[in-house]
Amino acid sequence: MLEYLMMNQGKVISKTELAEHIYDQDFDRDSNVLEVFVRRLRRKIDPDGELKPIETLRGRGYRYNAS
């Protein structure tokens, strides 16, 4: 997931697009698995919450910004 977000830096990636990239089979779109993955990634790459490299755009998806 992180690699995909980084490869598309600055672009808004929808939850559907992320799910299609990560999973080979149908994925329960109502599941909060992606939110859990994003939360864990945030804690690992920015434990103090200062940089905020993964931005959530409500109703649109996620965006990675390395600045």
CA-to-CA separations, 22 to 26, 44, 49, 52, 67, in angstroms, rounded: 11, 19, 25, 22, 25
Distance CA 62, CA 45 (A): 15
Give the DSSP per-residue string, 30-65.
T--HHHHHHHHHHHHH-TTSSS--EEEETTTEEEE-
| Pairing relationship of beta strands 61-64 and 54-57 according to DSSP bridges | antiparallel
Q: Where are the domains of the chain?
A: 2-64
Cβ 14 vs Cβ 22: under 8 Å: no
Does the domain spanning 2-64 belong to CATH 1.10.10.10? yes
10-residue mean pLDDT profile of the chain (67 residues): values are 96 92 73 90 95 95 91
pLDDT at 11: 97
pTM for the whole structure: 0.84
